[in-house]
Each structure stands twice: as structure tokens, then as C-alpha cells.
Amino acid sequence: MMNNKTRNIITFSLLAVSLILIGLGVKTGEYEAVLNKAINVCMECIGIG
């Protein structure tokens, strides 16, 4: 079992890495590609597109 200190370090590290990667994705404009793909998948599932 992990103690609370180890668990907190792992949690903080994963959160920090996640925020850094999200920031890089927003900075490079990748969110637009993800949004467009999500819209296309939704339209195909509904049957409109």
C-alpha cells in the first residue's frame, strides 16, 4: 500500500503533466481538430451527416 505522501506526489505529478499537455494542445491549435472530429462523429451517429 502507498502512504498518503506518495499518493499525493503521484496525484500532483499527473495533474501537472495533464495541465502542461492541455496547454500545449491549446497553444498549437489542436483543440480545433479535436472539436471538428467530435462534431463529425456526432453528426454520423445521429444520421444527419
pLDDT for the residue numbered 42: 84
- Cβ neighbors of 31 (< 8 A, separation 6 or more) are 25
The answer to whether 13 and 19 are in contact (CB under 8 A) is no
pLDDT for the residue numbered 49: 55
Summarised one tens digit per residue, pLDDT across range 1-49 is: 789 999 999 999 999 999 999 999 999 999 899 899 988 888 888 776 5
pLDDT for the residue numbered 24: 94
Cell of 44: 454520423
- Cβ neighbors of 25 (< 8 A, separation 6 or more) are 31, 34
pLDDT for the residue numbered 11: 96
Torsional sign, CA 13, 16, 19, 25: negative
